[in-house]
Amino acid sequence: MFHFHPHHIKRTLLGLLGITLVAGSLTACGHHRHHESGMAMSAEEFAQKRDKVVDKVASRLELNAEQKQKLASLGDVLHAQRQAVMGTTKEPRAEIKALIAGEKFDAARAQALVNEKTTALQTRSPEVIAALAAFYNSLNPRQQQKVREYLDGRG
């Protein structure tokens, strides 16, 4: 039998929230299908979506061909990390709902989910960081400033 202290439950819930936010933000980089298996996107569909985003960013930042390629690579790496975080889950909300489906919160399953998602993030993070650094470092100072302004909500 498990005995959880309030700080364990709080940590678990905060961990789940963090994973949900990360997965959500990665999903935002993905697609917006509205059917049951919404997680499935063909390689061709992803490439089309990625290319559209790359072209939009490239026009705003005035990227050259090499920078566009680095941005496309970053998109591919983010997509791979998103798939790793999502795992075999077809309906992430169903997993979360299952935690509260019974009379008691399934803390053991919640912790297992957090561990699973955290491992996926940790495994892929070096590749994501390297791709992000390669793209950002390829930008000239004016382009970098535009990125900072965009992140500050001014762009």
Which tens digit of pLDDT belongs to each residue from 72-86?
Answer: 999 999 888 888 888
What is the pLDDT at residue 42?
77
What is the pLDDT at residue 142?
95
What is the pLDDT at residue 31?
42
What is the pLDDT at residue 68?
94
CA–CA dist 137, 141 (Å, integer):
9
- Reading the block at residue 36, the tokens are 């049951």
**Between 103 and 10, residue with greater pLDDT:** 103
Give pLDDT tens digits for 26-75: 444 444 443 333 456 777 888 888 889 899 999 999 999 999 999 999 99
What is the pLDDT at residue 87?
79
CA–CA dist 43, 89 (Å, integer):
18
Mean pLDDT on 2-19:
51
What is the pLDDT at residue 143?
94
Provide the 8-state DSSP code for 103.
S
Give pLDDT tens digits for 89-112: 778 888 889 999 999 999 999 999
Range in 11-15, 67-71, 87-91, 132-136 the model is least confident about: 11-15
User: Is there a contact between 39 and 87 (Cβ–Cβ < 8 Å)?
Assistant: no
Task: Categorize the per-residue pLDDT at 3 as very low, low, confident or very high, splitting at 50, 70 and 90.
Answer: low
Report field, pTM of the whole predicted structure over 0.95? no
